[in-house]
Structure 1
């Protein structure tokens, strides 16, 4: 059975690196000869606008979180000083002006390193995250993997963490009520790498996450679930 979003759970939509450098004519070739998923922009815009609409109708907390990249390398299109202004959010992914959508800045692939994102999710008892953005094989993949490994949406039912004996056997067992991590595969995109075309890189990256680190879902399924909130 295909994975289903449960919007009765406190949920965060985490949008990763939706920045001008990845689409600007002066900088896009920096990443690769071609990009996957020509529908990325339209799908992510639909995802974000529908999520924002659903926030007003939902009795369960729904949060939009933006993560952006600020490179340490002065030659990167994502460096703050780059003349093309690639560090700027894409027009359709600009956080709302009232400050209600938190923004986290990172300088590595993971959205959890050097940021307060993990503590933010735990403090608000977020039990489900929906991830989308750029790029599939780098910052999106790393963020999804770390979210799963850190258990940011899980709830411990016993005192943790697990302790191991020298032989690798467990000294204690820790029961965990698992949260849910979704990757919106058609609201992400990446670029060609070496001899591999962009769509192959994208599909293999998604397949590597599916079922172990996240449940893979499409924009249409998420949008449908969000619109159903208004009907209940």
Structure 2
């Protein structure tokens, strides 16, 4: 992986710690995100934090904050988005083009929503996305017909739908090996 490969951290926010979200998979996803973030910082690779704020006119609350484990350092870009895609309503695409960034390593929450939407758009816009399977996570869901799908099932199906056509699915260890190689 080139030194100009960007790490994009999507919606790693306190809200996702709320019990109202239900059962989650990949409990160690944030630790894996932090591992990658620390490597990116040590090797001076580009980092972009995405923060989802659906309604900016509402007062600030703790749930909107980026989790401390991956909190941005001064100078690291934080882009606010209002919808699932990190490319809609932000300057992410222009920022990447101006920096001549072509390859993206994508981590964050949740696999089947904002991470998936951003990954699909990244590929459609001509970028080369890698999605890190153990540095993403989601929650269990009840389907339209009342069936409960576990968080692991939802996560895996989201990754399956992205694999090969939209992204290379890889784990943290695989990213670290690519960085060393």
Common fold, TM-score beyond 0.5? yes
Does residue 1:43 correspond to 2:38, yes or no? no
Structure 1: 4+ residue segments shifted above 3 A: 79-82
User: 1:29-178 counterparts in 2 under 5 A?
Assistant: 29-31=19-21, 33-55=22-44, 62-72=45-55, 80-82=59-61, 85-97=62-74, 99=75, 101-151=76-126, 153=127
Q: Which residue of 2 aligns with 1:208?
A: 161
Counterpart CA distance in 2 for 1:126 and 1:223 is 19
Instruction: Specify which structure has the higher proportion of helix.
Output: 2
The 8 Å contact of residues 112 and 143 in structure 1, kept in 2 or not, is answered as yes
- Provide the secondary structure at the position in 2 that maps to 1:188: strand
Structure 1 position 224, deviation (Å) = 3.0
- The farther-off stretch of 209-218 and 44-53 is 44-53
Q: Which residue of 1 aligns with 2:6?
A: 12
Q: Which residue of 2 aligns with 1:160?
A: none
Q: Which residue of 2 aligns with 1:161?
A: none
User: 1:178-193 counterparts in 2 under 5 A?
Assistant: 180-193=128-141
Counterpart CA distance in 1 for 2:178 and 2:88 is 31
Structure 1 position 222, deviation (Å) = 1.3
Q: Kindly provide the CA deviation profile for residues 152-188 of structure 1, in whole angstroms up to 9, marking residues without a partner as x.
A: x3xxxxxxxxxxxxxxxxxxxxxxxxxx210001100
Structure 1 position 80, deviation (Å) = 4.6
- Stretches of structure 1 that go unaligned for 5 or more consecutive residues are 1-5, 56-61, 154-179
Which of 168, 171, 178 is matched with 1:225 structurally?
178
Q: Which residue of 2 aligns with 1:176?
A: none
What CA RMSD, in Å, does the superposition of the two structures yield over aligned residues? Answer: 1.7
Counterpart CA distance in 1 for 2:56 and 2:49 is 22
Q: Which has the larger radius of gyration?
A: 1
Structure 1 position 223, deviation (Å) = 2.1
Q: TM-score, normalising length from structure 1?
A: 0.72
- Stretches of structure 2 that go unaligned for 5 or more consecutive residues are 143-147
